[in-house]
Amino acid sequence: MKILLIDNEAPIRETLRAMVQSWSEGHHEIADANGVATGLTAIAAFQPDIVLLDVEMDDGQGFDLLRKLEQTNFQLIFTTAHNQYAVQAFKVSAIDYLLKPIDPYELHQSLNKAMHNIKQMQLQQQVQVLLQQVAPKPETERQIVLKDMEKTYFVKMKDVLFCEAEGAYTKFNIANTEPIFVSKNLRFYEDLLSDAGFIRTHHSCLVNSARIKLFDRKIDSGVLVLDTGHTIPVSQRKKEYVMQYLENKGN
């Protein structure tokens, strides 16, 4: 297994090297680089299986490095100080990341996951979704990456109608296709998608506000009608919030 460490701080590279060497999964070749330019050179020469890539470096960002690659024939793990903007992008694209200071156990878990996924060829698409988040394309082209037990789905945000809580899972209801069940709870997606115009209308429902056709307030505490005809309940506790959100959205 060939593992490349890209970080602009030498002490962090040394610490990562020691952590990787203590990983129990066989023999590893380890190389390192200190920035975007040296990282690109190392990727071409070393041909790594796994890359640990820092977000912020002296000569640019890890995102800049990815934009300059024609192909990503490796598994990718980002490392970052707490950067909510970057973390949001990682979550939407389902690309693995570790927050600094890096915990050895979490690093080993990420390496195990990367090794398991080594033969999968979907990273290029995930990187495209990631780069959409950090340099957004038009809203109609934005995507989210969803994974169930067997498959990875690349879904346009505009096609997501609403999400439903299913215990520890979330059910994504998507236009013109079968629902997708994801093993993360609804609160995770409420936090992740609020900036994309999704609103919580009920303890068990998160709705894409771009798909709302009307708000019928005559029925109980209210019902949202989507452009597909789906009806979404609004709880009494959320009614005022939903009304205010939709009024502000229309202004």
pLDDT digits (tens, 9 = 90+) for 234-251: 999 999 999 999 888 766
Tokens of 19: 């952590």
Give me the pLDDT at residue 175, please: 96
Q: What are the percentages of helix, strand and coil residues in the chain, rounded to 5?
A: 40, 30, 30
Give me the pLDDT at residue 137, please: 64
pLDDT: which is higher, 158 or 118: 158
Q: Which CATH class is domain 139-250?
A: mainly beta
- Going by C-alpha positions, the residue among 99, 93, 100, 151 that lies closest to residue 125 is 93
Whether the CB-CB separation of 25 and 112 falls below 8 Å is answered with: yes
Q: Which helix (H) or strand (E) holds 137?
A: none
Percent of the chain beyond pLDDT 70? 95
Q: Residues 78-96: what's their mean pLDDT?
A: 88
Pick the CATH number of 2-134 from 3.30.450.20, 3.40.50.150, 3.40.50.1820, 3.40.50.2300: 3.40.50.2300
- Going by C-alpha positions, the residue among 182, 193, 191, 178 that lies closest to residue 152 is 182
Whether the CB-CB separation of 242 and 215 falls below 8 Å is answered with: yes
| Whole-angstrom Cα Rg for the chain | 21
Give me the pLDDT at residue 68, please: 95
Q: Residues 57-84: what's their mean pLDDT?
A: 91
pLDDT digits (tens, 9 = 90+) for 182-204: 999 999 999 999 888 999 999 99
Tokens of 131: 């780069």
Torsion of CA 189, 194, 196, 199, to 10 degrees: 90
- Going by C-alpha positions, the residue among 213, 195, 202 that lies closest to residue 238 is 202
- Is the model's pLDDT at 4 over the cut of 90? yes
SS3 assignment, position 119:
coil
Instruction: Indicate the residue type of 30.
Output: I
pLDDT digits (tens, 9 = 90+) for 126-150: 998 998 888 766 666 789 999 988 8
Q: Which helix (H) or strand (E) holds 14?
A: helix 10-21
Instruction: Indicate the residue type of 120.
Output: Q
- Going by C-alpha positions, the residue among 208, 212, 189, 211 that lies closest to residue 199 is 208
**Domain locations in the chain as residue ranges:** 2-134, 139-250
Lowest mean pLDDT among 12-16, 136-140, 168-172, 213-217: 136-140
